[in-house]
Chain A
Amino acid sequence: MTASIEQPQEGKIIPVINNFSKWPWWALAIGLAALVIIYNFITNQSYNDAISYIGTGVITTIRVTLTAYSMALVGGLILGLGRVSKNVLYYNIATFYVELMRGIPMLVIILYGAFVVVPVGLNILTTLGNWLIGISFLAGVGQALTQLDIQKIDMSGRAIAGLAMGYAAFEAEVFRAGIQSIDKGQMEAARSLGMNYVQAMRFVILPQALRRVLPPLGNDLIAILKDSSLISALAVNDITQLGKKFRARSFSSFEAYNTMAFLYLTMTISLSMLVKFIERKTSRGR
């Protein structure tokens, strides 16, 4: 038996095979596929048509994604603090919202946001505005609120509202987990120095929690980018909607969908590399 333990060191073939089998073949395959598609964009007329038509949707996709994501982060932080709050009302409202949103498909949330929440919310705001005009020093605010018009909020704005509503619930759970992962002694030490709850959260707990949740927040950025394709249901001209349109008028399904997949993959893979980079950096830190 002792001899067999030494065997791997004698046979030098084994490490070579191991290295070879550890190659990132999948990445190579994706890279190759990308090269083939890029080659087609340059040389093949119908691919060229596809990319120049669908490519204009990239800006919309990125704009919708980043806006909705920022809003989801803010909403998620507020909800996440509610999820760890000892205030019964705050905790219950946050938990109610999170449980509700996590149980509804994203597409339904987007439709709901676009056709129910945004119009109803605007109605409430304009009613409030009319009421405020009567109060002398708030008349300006009231005037501004009555000027709000559903026509001025285009479908991409409504789509952003829906995506942000849904993702706020996911980010809330990320923040909650991050806050709860910080040792209880940190809060006790901060409180014993005389800080109140808000100060302890802001200066001691959140800075540590945020560092810890950077990787899951990054993953959710990738997820919301992919889910942004659902806004094509509202006829917003993002990558997916333009791809569908291109296929409908040219009947070149293969070109249309390959181009769409290529555009999404380019963005998601770059983002995931960025997330891994940040993850490595933060795990090395203090």
Chain B
Amino acid sequence: MAANSDNVIITIENVTKNFGKSHALRGVTTNVKKGEVLMIIGPSGSGKSTLLRCINMLELPDTGSIVVDGISVMEKKTNINAVRAEVGMVFQQFNLFPHLSVLENIVLAQKVVRKRSTAEAEKVARQQLQHVGIPEKADAYPNELSGGQQQRVAIARALAMNPRIMLFDEPTSALDPEMIKEVLDVMVSLAKEGMTMVVVSHEMGFAKAAANRIVFMDQGKIVEEGSPVDFFTNPKSDRTKAFLSKIL
């Protein structure tokens, strides 16, 4: 809790993670302030998704420390589920539960984890569907929705748990171009509401509209970080310049 004095909500210190012989993360240090929108970019295999997955313990770091909202991820005693309930995650492949309707998708974890009553959970679910702009799809099943709609349901599902932090793992990479905007709009409005967000994405539109800080990763390390304006107009390292020249 000591770190809260300067409003830091996620502290990442010297984190390493190996998958067999490949080094996904080799010493990453950064932190995220409350209400900050941090965007992580980098080539594939640079470790950006692994870093994100370490924050909500889908992967456990090998060494280093991650403290989320005052709770250390690395300690054995830590109740993983307690941390995860505070950290919402949105996946590239949406990962909606196909056997449940949209409403049931959003209600399930509220009832099971947050122990809310059915009536209360459904009320929250409908509010969140309104929030992401598809209240009329409550009774549809995931396979009846477009990719953009599915991803918005996934965001609503995570938000319904009232997380303090939202993680986005390439949320628009599996979408058709014309559906990207509807998802980004939801994310931008979420950022404007003051949600703490860590976003792995290459959407420059989102970077310009909502990001406070950009982190560029390559080969398991942070190469460069800075404000979006500085980062895009005035990159310092050659590696960053080479990467930006390819994606812009």
Contact = CB atoms under 8 A, between A and B. Distances in A.
Interface in A30-53: none
Contact of B95 (A189, A194, A208): A189
Interface string A179-217: 000010110111111111001000110011001000000
A196 B85 CA distance: 10
Interface in B89-107: 89, 91, 93, 95-99
* A interface: dominant SS: helix
A264 to B, nearest CB: 36
B99 A286 contact: yes
Contacts of B58: 188, 191-192
B99 A185 contact: no
Contact of A185 (B88, B93, B158): B93
Contacts of A183: 93, 95
B202 interface: no
B26 interface: no
Nearest to B157: A193
Residues of A in contact with B, size category: 10 to 19
Contacts of A189: 89, 91, 95-97, 154
A52 B96 CA distance: 56
B131 interface: no
Interface string B153-194: 010011001000000000000000000000000000000000
B165 to A, nearest CB: 12
B99 A211 contact: yes
Interface of A: 183, 185-186, 188-196, 199, 203-204, 207-208, 211, 286
Given A186-B97, A190-B109, 12 more contacts: A183-B93, A185-B95, A188-B58, A189-B95, A193-B85, A193-B158, A194-B161, A195-B109, A199-B112, A203-B112, A204-B108, A286-B98
27 contacts: A183-B93, A183-B95, A185-B91, A185-B95, A186-B95, A188-B58, A188-B95, A189-B91, A189-B95, A192-B56, A192-B84, A192-B87, A192-B89, A193-B85, A193-B108, A193-B109, A193-B157, A193-B161, A194-B113, A194-B114, A194-B161, A195-B112, A203-B108, A203-B112, A207-B99, A211-B99, A286-B141
